[in-house]
A and B are shown apart, each in its own frame.
Chain A
Amino acid sequence: MDDKKINITVDGREISADKGQMLIEVTDKNDIYIPRFCYHKKLTVAANCRMCLVDVEKAPKPLPACSTPVMDGMVVRTQSKLAIDAQKSVMEFLLINHPLDCPICDQGGECELQDLAMGYGSDVSRYQERKRVVVDKNIGPLIQTDLTRCIHCTRCVRFGEEIAGLRELGATGRGENMEIGTYIEKSVTSELSGNVIDLCPVGALTSKPFRYSARTWELVQRNTVAPHDSVGSNIHLHVKGDTVKRVVPAENEAINETWISDRDRFSYEAINCDDRLHYPMVKVDGVWQQVEWQEALDFIQKELGAIIDDDPSQLGALVSPSLTLEELYLSQKLLRGLGSNNIDCRLKQIDFSEQVSTPLFPWLGQSIVDFEENQAVFLIGSNVRKDQPIINHRLRKAVVNGASVMVLNPVDYDFNFSLHCKSIVAPNDMVSELASVLRAAVKLSNKNIDSSIKKLITGVSIGETHKEIAQQLFNSENTIILLGNLSTTHPQFTLLRTLAGVISKLTRSKLGYLSESVNTSGGWLAGALPHRLAGGADCSKIGLNSSEIIAKKLKAYLLVSVEPELDCWDTNAAHQAMKNADLVIMFSAFQSKSVKDYANVLLPIATYAENSGAYINNEGVTQRFSNAVPPQCEALPAWKALKNTANCLGVDGFNYESSDVIYDEVINIIDEIKRDNYQDWSTNVTSLPKVRGLQRITETPMNMIDPLTRRATSLQNTRDVSDGSIHINTSLANKNKLSEVDMALVYQAEKEVQMTVEIDDRVPDNCVLIQSSHPSQIELGGAFGSIKIKRSKA
């Protein structure tokens, strides 16, 4: 027998357990229930609630199962008089102060205390004294506090310390006066903060947006996949009638464990927002008219048909990488059926050089679970904590286990773990910094590299940081280099990728892409690209990429769940192209004033909760889901809308009865999802970029990434949104005599815009950080490049 295994007896049952396990872990695994409040399998053991007291033979008094290690031959009774009496006594103590206001408490019906009070509470309280009252705190737009109900289990406090990596909640005061809170009035800022709502066993921390809107027993639980970051966290939608009332995590150890980000949790609010597009609409003579689907399709057939007959290459499509695999596949099939290859889902990219030789899809480089095993990680252009919170959580676990994380970023982002070293430079200098790291790696490894690259890095200087990064990658066992969202959107993305690729080869590190959206992988695999067909086959005639689609000012545009003036790399060019076009057909779940200005047809589509399909996440895992609620009013799932459009335009091969049929077709074409980021690294760039003057940096804040998050009211009240300001550091502000009360004139590409000023010392010298998707900066233009600022006299 394995000497790590021991046998214990629980309630007369012989159970085999691992040495060192806590009793409650063993009983949980064997479906023997022991009541608990403070114990949670993902958190450290506090043993402060005492609800899990059990009767252990030879022990003089009851022992807490959560902090009692199992021992060979241990005999445990969870139902003996001693155990039950102890648990009842604990319950009596808990109820001394806990209010009996279950009928008006949001937790009622799913409250662990309420449930256990049914079993262990007494009918009448022996206490006549007054209960204690705690003043509620406002800790932000997402979490509602009702701290009189708190039973001090400290799960939320331990969560902050151990999972969020950001201790924001604490237990201040002592004894009768102990309370959970932030001590000073402040909002909690963790991107995972909403998880304390699930952790709280009582109604002390509940969801603010969900408050008083439904009782839990009225809700039906349906499974789906969160539609934002490239992780594809598993979630439950809680539905009342046809309305999504809230979102909670679904457990999946391989992806999100038991956590989800706040973005995934609260974006559902947009499903029922006022901006929803409910009926097909057509603009006739400048006036919007609500029409039947058939009328809208007839309109498209007439207008688009004419343009296609004339020149199909005058049609371009921008599609969202948060569409399902089926929809991305149908979009490109429709476009190609009409004779155009001008389709792209890489909306925030500008550098498409060498796109032909890129891998099948931008793969994470390893599985999400394996992230915890890394010993050295080099992040290039990534605010992973906000962009892919769940991957950041795994990364943080690796750091807790001793990994070194090194960063090359254009903004000094906050991490919730300590960095081994960092280089914060202007966007253009990122390339030369990376070249320096590469040169250090060449020296370490003594290996040959392609002559084109050798030439490029000749003469670059090597500093201590470069040496350290190269050394960590070279000397550690499990290492990975990751290109984040700010790399993908960088004007020299291809060069960054090539340099990173060579470094990964020299240091035997993995190379991974942190892709931007939930189905970026799906977009690549389904062929929603100008140069690839579904399954990654090369396209014989390469179409226009997203940047060219805009720059060429085509006659007709097809937009699927994209708001170009907010979602594209060059917002101004995108906006102008749309305004300039003869025909803009928009498949969207939402409408906006801006869209109504330039679009000609609006076709209402379903949101993720109303849709069925598949997402392929960053690690290449396909996850399928079905709809939780029906689409609102006349809205159709985008796949159905695309199918109908194709049929009315007379494109063959669109006789699909369900998304399942499309899925089978596309998955059959994709065949094997080959996970490999290897490329034959070489370059035709001959010199490193040198730009003088001010440079623009654009980041997309966590809650601005797609039409859905932009319309989720509570998320918009958090700090992770665009503020419409230019962010500059103190020295640049002084140089331009700007302070936070001033307005600045911002010039880019011959445009001038007035913006507020935010002094932000995370931004390097000579750089201006602007947050994307804010109406104030649409007219400015490209996400990176030269920019000028001046103090506004007004």
Chain B
Amino acid sequence: MAETILSKKTCKEIDLWLKKYPKDQKQSAVLAALREVQHENKGYLTTELMDAVADYLGMSKIAVYEVASFYSMFETKPVGRNSVSVCTNISCMLMGSDEIVKHVENKLGIKTGESTKDGKFFLKCEEECLAACCGGPMMMINHKYYENLTLNKVDEILDNLD
């Protein structure tokens, strides 16, 4: 069943990860598998996809749901195609990240944790430090870091996204 739902590319990627772990511990690859599946599915996971991962790795479905719901980098509901996370941890906060968040919220007309109606932006509620304290305030958009932000710079970056 999994093979029909997961793309060939995804399966290949998961297989690559599976090689790194002992044969009887396929579940070790669950994070990598979910990451890949989410990436292929416009940035979020569906129950069907999680079930397919469970099937592929020989895990119980609920165990995959647990992992997916635990880690903040996984989305289990549909979200906008550009994932924007503004770091609000201590270093960035001291450098004015609160103002950046407020600005992005106003600009996009949504609150953190929401997506724009046109499906273009998802303003993620970032819970963890993104480990770029030297460049604070910073944000991550689609896995790419943007550092030393100013309000103007934020406008420019967001305006240039598809």
Q: Footprint of B on A, CB under 8 Å?
A: 161, 166-174, 182-184
Tell me if A172 and B63 are in contact (CB < 8 A). no
Q: Give B71's nearest chain A residue, CB to CB.
A: A174
Cβ distance A308 to chain B, nearest Cβ, rounded Å: 61
Within B27-79, which residues are at the interface with A (CB < 8 Å)? 47, 60-63, 65-66, 69-70
B30 to chain A, nearest CB (A): 13
Q: Determine which of B47, B62, B69, B70 lies in contact with A169 in the assembled complex, contact meaning CB atoms within 8 Å.
A: B62
> Inside 8 A of A183's CB, which chain B residues have their CB?
47, 61-62, 65-66, 69
A and B contact pairs by CB, cutoff 8 A, 8 listed: A168-B62, A169-B62, A170-B66, A172-B69, A172-B70, A173-B69, A182-B62, A183-B47
Q: Which residues on the B side are within 8 Å of A169 (C-beta)?
A: 62
Give the complex CA separation of A172 and B62 in angstroms. Answer: 8
Could you tell me if B65 and A167 are in contact, using CB atoms closer than 8 angstroms? no
Q: How far is the CA of A161 from the CA of B60 in the complex (A)?
A: 9
Tell me the complex Cα distance, A172–B61, Å: 12
Q: Which residue of A lies closest to B66 (CB)?
A: A170
Do the beta carbons of A174 and B62 come within 8 Å of each other? no
Contact residues in A for B66 (Cβ distance below 8 Å):
170-172, 183
The 8 Å CB contact of B47, one of A166, A168, A173, A184, is A184
In the assembled complex, the Cα of A174 lies from the Cα of B69 at a distance in Å of 8
Chain A residues with CB under 8 Å of B62's CB are 167-170, 172, 182-183
Q: Which of A161, A166, A170 contacts B65 (CB 8 A)?
A: A170
Residues of B within 8 A of A166 (CB): 60
Known: A172-B65, A183-B65, A184-B47. A167 touches B60 (CB 8 A): yes
Residues of B within 8 Å of A174, CB to CB, are 69-70
A168-B62, A183-B61 given; name 5 further pairs at CB < 8 Å: A161-B60, A167-B62, A171-B66, A173-B70, A183-B69
Of A169, A174, A183, most buried by chain B (CB within 10 Å of CB) is A183
Tell me the bound Cα distance from A166 to B70 in angstroms.
21
In the complex, chain A residues whose CB is within 8 Å of the CB of B65: 170, 172, 183-184
Q: Specify which of B60, B62, B66, B69 lies most central, judged by the most chain A CB atoms within 10 Å of its CB.
A: B62
Give the 6 A-B residue pairs with the shortest CB-CB distance, closest first. A167-B60, A170-B62, A183-B65, A172-B69, A170-B66, A174-B70
- A170 to B61 CA separation, bound complex (whole angstroms): 10
CA distance A182 to B50 in the complex (A): 14
Q: Complex: how many Å from CA A50 to CA B61?
A: 29
In the complex the two chains form, is A167's CB within 8 Å of B70's CB? Answer: no
| Residues in chain B near residue A167, CB distance under 8 A | 60, 62-63
In Å, the complex CA distance between A417 and B62 comes to 17
Complex CA distance for A167 and B69, rounded to whole angstroms: 16
| Nearest B-chain residue to A183, judged by Cβ | B65
Residues of B within 8 A of A (CB): 47, 60-63, 65-66, 69-70
Residue of A nearest to B60 (CB): A167
Residues of B within 8 A of A168 (CB): 60, 62
Give the distance to chain B from A494, nearest Cβ to Cβ, in Å.
Answer: 41
Q: How far does the Cβ of B71 sit from chain A's closest Cβ, in whole Å?
A: 8
Q: Which residue of B lies closest to A177 (CB)?
A: B69
Contacts of B47 in A (CB 8 A): 183-184
What residues on A are CB-neighbors of B70 within 8 Å? 172-174
Query: Contacts of A161 on B, CB cut-off 8 Å?
Result: 60
Cβ of A171: which chain B residues have Cβ within 8 Å of it?
Answer: 66
Contacts of A172 in B (CB 8 A): 62, 65-66, 69-70
B55 to chain A, nearest CB (A): 14
**What's the nearest-Cβ distance from chain B to residue A170, in Å?**
4
Chain A hits for B60, CB < 8 A: 161, 166-168
Q: Which of A161, A170, A171 has the most CB of B within 10 A?
A: A170
Nearest CB on A from B125, distance (A): 12
Complex: A169 Cα to B63 Cα, angstroms: 9
Interface centre among A161, A168, A174 (most CB of B within 10 A): A174
Distance of A579 from chain B, by nearest CB (Å): 49
Contacts of A182 in B (CB 8 A): 62
Q: How far is the CB of A733 from chain B (nearest CB, A)?
A: 19
**Once the chains are docked, how many angstroms separate the CA of A183 from the CA of B60?**
12
Q: For the complex, what is the distance from the CA of A169 to the CA of B62, rounded to whole Å? A: 7
Within the assembled complex, what's the spacing in Å between the Cα atoms of A399 and B48? 30
* Bound complex: CA A347 to CA B60 (Å): 39
Residues of B within 8 A of A170 (CB): 62-63, 65-66
How long is the Cα–Cα vector from A172 to B71 in the complex, in angstroms? 10
Residues in A with CB closer than 8 Å to B69 are: 172-174, 183
CA distance A476 to B92 in the complex (A): 65
Chain A's closest residue to B50 (CB) is: A183
Residues of B within 8 A of A173 (CB): 69-70
A161, B65: Cα distance in complex, Å: 15
Instruction: Determine the residue in chain B with the shortest Cβ distance to A168.
Output: B62
Which chain A residue lies CB-closest to B72?
A174
Instruction: Give bound CA distance, A251 to B53, whole Å.
Output: 39
* Cα distance, A167 to B60, chains bound together (Å): 6
Nearest chain A CB to B77 CB, angstrom units: 13
Closest Cβ of chain A to B95, distance in Å, is: 26
Contacts of B61 in A (CB 8 A): 183
CB-defined contacts of A184 to chain B, threshold 8 Å: 47, 65
Measured in the bound complex, the distance between the Cα atoms of B65 and A236 in whole Å is: 37
| Distance to closest chain A CB from B26 (angstroms) | 14
Closest chain-B Cβ to A285's Cβ sits at a distance in Å of 61
A184→B61 CA distance, assembly (Å): 10
B70 (CB) vs chain A CBs: closest residue? A174
* Nearest residue, chain A, Cβ from B69: A172
Closest to A174 in B: B70
Nearest CB of chain A from residue B31's CB, rounded to whole Å: 14
Whole-angstrom distance between the Cβ of B53 and the nearest chain A Cβ: 14
Q: How far is the CA of A182 from the CA of B65 in the complex (A)?
A: 9
Once bound together, how far apart are the Cα atoms of A183 and B66, in whole Å?
Answer: 8
Q: Which residue of chain B is the closest to A165 with respect to CB atoms?
A: B60
B24 CB, nearest partner CB in chain A, Å: 12
Taken together as a complex, chains A and B put the C-alpha atoms of A16 and B61 apart, in Å, by 44
Considering the chains assembled together, what is the distance between the CA atoms of A161 and B66 in angstroms? 14
A167 to B63, CA, bound (A): 8
Task: Give complex CA distance A168, B61 in Å.
Answer: 8
Q: How far is the CA of A644 from the CA of B8 in the complex (A)?
A: 76
| CB-nearest residue of chain A to B51 | A184
Shortest distance between the CB of B69 and any CB in chain A (Å): 4
A182 to B63, CA, bound (A): 10
Complex Cα spacing A161 to B63, Å: 10
The distance in angstroms between the C-alpha atoms of A172 and B65, with both chains bound, is 7
In the assembled complex, the Cα of A341 lies from the Cα of B37 at a distance in Å of: 69
User: Shortest distance in angstroms between A651's beta carbon and chain B's nearest beta carbon?
Assistant: 59
CB distance from B51 to the nearest CB of A (A): 9
CA gap between A172 and B50 in the complex, in Å: 13
Q: Please report the C-alpha to C-alpha distance between residue A169 and residue B60 in the assembled complex, in whole angstroms.
A: 10
Nearest-Cβ distance from residue B159 to partner chain A, whole angstroms: 34
CA of A167 to CA of B70, assembled, Å: 17
With both chains docked as a complex, state the minimum distance between the C-beta of B73 and any C-beta of chain A, in angstroms: 12
The smallest beta-carbon distance between B112 and chain A, in angstroms, is: 16
CA–CA, A76 and B157, complex, Å: 62
Which residue from chain A places its CB closest to the CB of B62 in the assembled complex? Answer: A170
CA distance A23 to B47 in the complex (A): 42
Bound form: Cα–Cα A161–B61 in Å: 12
Docked pose: A447 CA to B125 CA in angstroms: 73
In the complex, A470→B112 CA distance in Å? 64
Please report the C-alpha to C-alpha distance between residue A344 and residue B95 in the assembled complex, in whole angstroms.
87
